[in-house]
Every structure is written in structure tokens, then in C-alpha cells.
């Protein structure tokens, strides 16, 4: 068990089943949020010990027990969970109380949903990660919330912007009222991509690609997923001072967090959780 955390942006909480929270979101009274670690679950083998994804080799009942453990530790109602359907696209799904249990306790009904939004207090949003970018959205005026998953494809397809626009459309959210948090995600220190992938980042017209890509001598690049999403949020109207970026790289902290690159793909999966309290 890791009892301390070298982070200025996030706090490690929980005892037997630890989880991370954003310091800035801890100050917002009408929400509860959490980001799981790889610790404190009952999974065995390559997924040991906290794995929250089905299809990674875990028995279904084992994964459900992990959900019960993290919900108990972080303060979420197990029956209220609503899971995303992540296929590295940029679709945003509005969810309601009727979607409780989706993708976890009952079968999936959507083909794609890399972001979830809601303005109802009886549902807990759940999205999944193991190097990709978690994005938290909290509207301090309407009390609507959102969670998004940004892999490199979702990032360059502007999942961050799509989520802001969906909250504007569905809830009347104003971008300047949003508090957004980014990460934990694989950092620029560890995220090497090839030329083909880099060309997708270069095609983001709102951003000077020299800010987010650093060329290497071998023809590859180091890419900054967190900064890319931050710059896209700013371009969408979110105030820079309202955006917090985690200082935790998933690969550098692979003793605490699941990293696809650090494990060569033999891994479990973490989840972000958020619900409205009132």
C-alpha cells in the first residue's frame, strides 16, 4: 500500500481501497468524485488488484466486487453507476436516472459514448482509463457534470470541445462557469508517437502543434495529451484559471496507476467517478 503521494494537484484517500481526488474539486460541495488506482481490489494475475473493466480476463463477479469496494471507500451508491462505452471516438451521451447500472449491472445500450454528461443527482458517471486522458467537467452554475475519455484519437477529434458543447446544448452551461480537471494521464515524458499519429495532432488547427509535440532524432515525437486537451478547452471558452491538470504521469507512477505502456498491455483498468449531490 502506498501511504503518501507526491502531488500538488491530487490527494490520495481511502485505506484498504485507495482512490485519488482533485484538490480543486474537493472544494465544490455539490459533487463527489474519485479516480481509482490499481490497488485495493480482489483481482488476481495481470489485473491484480483493482481492475474495473470487463473483458480483461477477470471473472465478472470479481470485477463487480471491485466496484463494490471502490464505491464503499469513495462514497458512491453501487446501484447508481452508469458506465461509458469507449471506442476512442468523440461521442457525448446524456444520461439520466433511468441509465443507472448501464454497462456494469446491466447490458450496454449504446454503441459509443466516450463522454457522459448529466444534471441529475441520482446517477454516478463512470469512465475508464489506463494511460488515456480523464476529463472532469463541473458547471458551478447549473450543477451539471461531465466525464470524458480522451485517448489520442478522441483528443484530436476534440472530445473535450464536444463535451463542453453538449453541456451548453443540454443544460445551458456557459463555458466560463466550468471547472475542468485533466488527468492522471501518460505524460509528455513518456508518450512517444510515430509520424502518422503526430500528423493528427498537427491537423488541430486551433493549436500550434509545436506546443504539444517535441520531435525526436528517430523520427518520432513526444506528445502532450494533457496540454492538448487544456488548449482545446481554452479555445472552447473555458477559463485557463478554471482548468487543473494532474501532475501524475500514469507510466511514471505505474506502481499506483495502471499504464498500458508500462505493462505492455497486460493490465487492469482504472475508472473516474462523479455524481451530483444536490
Strands of 89-241, DSSP E = 92-94, 115-118, 124-129, 133-139, 145-150, 178-182, 192-193, 213-215, 221-223
Average pLDDT over residues 62-73: 98
The separation between CA 206 and the C-alpha centre of its own chain, rounded to angstroms, equals 23
Average pLDDT over residues 162-181: 98
What pLDDT score does 17 carry? 98
A 10 A CB-CB count for 77 gives 12
What pLDDT score does 166 carry? 98
CA torsion angle for 53, 22, 87, 235 (degrees, to 10)? Answer: 180
Distance CA 164, CA 236 (A): 7
Distance CA 275, CA 33 (A): 7
pLDDT band at 3 (very low <50, low <70, confident <90, very high): low
30 with 143: CB under 8 angstroms? yes
43 with 20: CB under 8 angstroms? no
- Residues 6+ positions from 245 with CB-CB distance below 8 Å: 9, 181, 182, 183, 226, 227, 230
User: Which domains are assigned to the chain?
Assistant: 10-189+244-276 (3.60.140.10)
Indicate the pTM of the whole model.
Answer: 0.97
Range of lowest pLDDT (3-7, 86-90, 202-206): 3-7
Residue of 261, 80, 93 lying closest to 170 (CA atoms): 93
Q: What is the pLDDT of residues 105-124, one digit of tens each?
A: 999 999 999 999 999 999 99
Q: Residue 2 pLDDT more than 90?
A: no
Average pLDDT over residues 156-161: 98
What pLDDT score does 43 carry? 98
Q: What is the pLDDT of residues 17-45, one digit of tens each?
A: 999 999 999 999 999 999 999 999 999 99
Q: What is the pLDDT of residues 224-276, one digit of tens each?
A: 999 999 999 999 999 999 999 999 999 999 999 999 999 999 999 999 999 99
Question: What rounded mean pLDDT belongs to the chain?
Answer: 97
257 phi and psi angles, rounded to 5 deg: -120, 145
Amino acid at each position: 500500500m502506498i501511504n503518501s503521494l507526491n502531488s500538488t494537484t491530487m490527494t490520495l484517500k481511502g485505506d484498504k481501497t485507495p482512490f485519488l481526488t482533485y484538490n480543486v474539486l474537493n472544494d465544490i460541495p455539490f459533487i463527489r468524485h474519485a479516480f481509482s488506482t490499481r490497488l485495493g481490489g480482489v483481482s488476481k494475475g495481470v489485473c491484480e488488484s483493482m481492475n474495473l473493466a470487463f473483458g480483461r480476463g477477470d471473472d465478472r463477479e470479481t470485477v463487480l466486487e471491485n466496484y463494490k469496494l471502490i464505491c464503499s471507500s469513495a462514497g458512491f451508491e453501487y446501484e447508481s453507476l452508469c458506465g461509458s462505452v469507449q471506442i476512442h471516438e468523440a461521442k457525448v451521451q446524456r444520461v439520466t436516472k433511468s441509465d443507472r447500472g448501464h454497462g456494469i449491472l446491466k447490458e450496454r445500450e449504446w454503441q459509443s459514448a466516450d463522454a457522459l454528461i448529466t444534471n441529475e443527482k441520482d446517477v454516478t458517471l463512470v469512465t475508464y482509463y489506463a494511460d488515456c486522458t480523464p476529463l472532469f467537467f463541473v458547471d458551478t452554475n447549473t450543477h451539471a457534470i461531465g466525464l470524458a475519455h480522451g485517448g489520442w484519437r478522441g483528443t484530436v477529434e476534440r472530445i473535450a470541445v464536444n463535451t463542453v458543447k453538449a453541456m451548453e446544448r443540454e443544460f445551458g452551461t456557459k463555458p466560463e462557469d466550468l471547472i475542468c480537471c485533466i488527468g492522471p494521464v501518460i505524460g509528455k515524458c513518456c508518450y512517444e508517437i510515430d509520424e502518422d499519429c503526430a500528423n493528427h495532432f498537427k491537423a488541430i488547427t486551433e493549436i500550434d502543434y509545436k506546443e504539444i509535440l517535441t520531435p525526436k532524432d528517430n523520427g518520432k515525437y513526444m506528445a502532450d495529451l494533457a496540454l492538448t486537451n487544456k488548449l482545446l478547452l481554452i479555445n472552447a471558452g473555458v477559463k485557463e484559471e478554471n482548468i487543473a491538470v494532474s501532475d501524475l504521469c500514469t507510466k511514471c507512477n505505474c506502481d499506483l496507476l495502471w499504464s498500458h505502456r508500462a505493462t505492455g498491455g497486460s493490465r487492469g483498468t482504472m475508472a473516474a467517478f462523479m455524481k451530483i449531490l444536490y
